[in-house]
Structure formats: structure tokens, C-alpha cells
A = this chain, B = another copy of it.
Amino acid sequence: MKNNVTRDKLIDSGAQLISQQGYNATGINAVLKTCGVPKGSFYHYFSSKEDFGLAVIEHFATTYDETLVALLEDSDTPPLERLKRYFAVGRDHMHECDHTTGCLIGNLGQELSGQSDIFRDALNLVFQRWEQRFVHCLQAAQARGDIAKHIAPEALASFILSGWEGAILRAKTLKSVEPMEQFEKILFQQVLVRPSP
């Protein structure tokens, strides 16, 4: 398995199609067609469609984690500012895809959590990793006194991730980033606030 170029092409095309159409609506043949790879190669690299789906998730999670680190662990920027940038990047992405794609992990979480425990576990792990990134950022904000210390950062991280994923869903159905803006605004106005003396 030296030459991974074909495998990577499959994963890239798969990620794109699955992001757009979902997992069940994306056929293997469609993936093969868009990247010009024959079926023999597909089943050389992946044992099944599920195996392929998991590889797509893993690849996306790994790639996206780099973005997340760059945004949320950037010690040159104040923690709350990092969060704002993270939200801004999310909104930009939503515009770029014309409000159709949203978040691959969120999409698959909805579609596959009830269908397969293997998928559910994989997606849940990704979410938990994201939450941990938020926790670090929020801890930094608490250490600086930018936000109150009486709320556990883990609880805040869960709150933020839930809210953001939900806002993405609403943005998709509404075809507008307004719910994302609304969420961010109230979050910074009411939740991520300096402690009152």
C-alpha cells in the first residue's frame, strides 16, 4: 500500500459527495465516476462502503483538526477572539457552499447515529475531540479573567458545540447564516461575559 494517491482521490471525492448528498444517497459508483477510478481499486483499498465511510470521517477529522488547532490554540490571540475567528470561518464556509454542505460530522451524526453504532462511536469521538479544543480555549479565557469561573468549561464547551451545530442546521434549512450570527451574538452577549464583581 505504497501508492496512496488512488486511495486519497477516492476519499476526497467521497468526502465531497457525502458532504453534499449524505452517506446513503451517495453511491459508490458515483464516487468512482467523479474521480475516474475503477471499482476494482475501490475494493482493493476498502473492504466495504462502511469501511470507506469511516475512512472519510477519519480523514476529515484529521485535516479539520489542523484548522481547529490553528484557530483555537493560537496563543498570540486572546481566547475569546480565537472563538470569534472560529465562528467567522464557519460562517464563511457556509457561504462558500451556498448553505448546502454545513458540517460533515454533524450531517453524518444525524443520518447514521441511529443506523450504525460503529459510525456513531466514530462521530462521537470527533465531537468530543472538538469539545476538548473548546475547553482549552475557555480555560485560557477563564485564566485571563475574560469570562466567569463559576461555569465548568466542559459544560460551556458542550453548550457551544451543541448551539453551533444546531445553528448550522438552521442555516441550511433557512439558506442563510443568520441563525449562526444570532447564536454567536447572544453567546458573547450573555454567556461568555466577564464576571460581575
User: Which residues of A are in contact with B by a Cβ distance under 8 Å?
Assistant: 20-22, 24-25, 100-102, 106-107, 109-111, 113-115, 120, 123-124, 127, 151, 155-156, 158-159, 161-170, 172-175, 178-179, 182-183, 185-186, 189-191, 193, 196
Question: Within 8 Å CB of A111, what residues of B?
Answer: 22, 107, 110-111
Are B115 and A173 neighbours in the complex by a CB distance under 8 Å? no
Are B21 and A115 neighbours in the complex by a CB distance under 8 Å? yes
Question: What is the count of identical protomers in the complex?
Answer: 2
Say yes or no: A182-B166 contact (C-beta < 8 A), given A24-B25, A25-B115, A120-B173. Answer: no
Alpha-carbon distance A125/B22, docked complex (angstroms): 22
Question: Within 8 Å CB of A164, what residues of B?
Answer: 166
Question: Within 8 Å CB of A25, what residues of B?
Answer: 24, 115
Say yes or no: A106-B155 contact (C-beta < 8 A), given A21-B115, A114-B101. Answer: no
Alpha-carbon distance A115/B18, docked complex (angstroms): 11
Are B151 and A189 neighbours in the complex by a CB distance under 8 Å? yes
Task: Please tell me which one of the listed residues B106, B123, B179, B193 contacts residue A110 in the complex, with CB atoms under 8 A apart.
Answer: B106
Query: What 9 A-B pairs have minimum CB-CB distances, sorted nearest first?
Result: A166-B166, A162-B166, A110-B110, A165-B166, A100-B114, A162-B167, A163-B163, A24-B24, A113-B172
Give chain B nearest CB distance to A141 CB in angstroms.
15
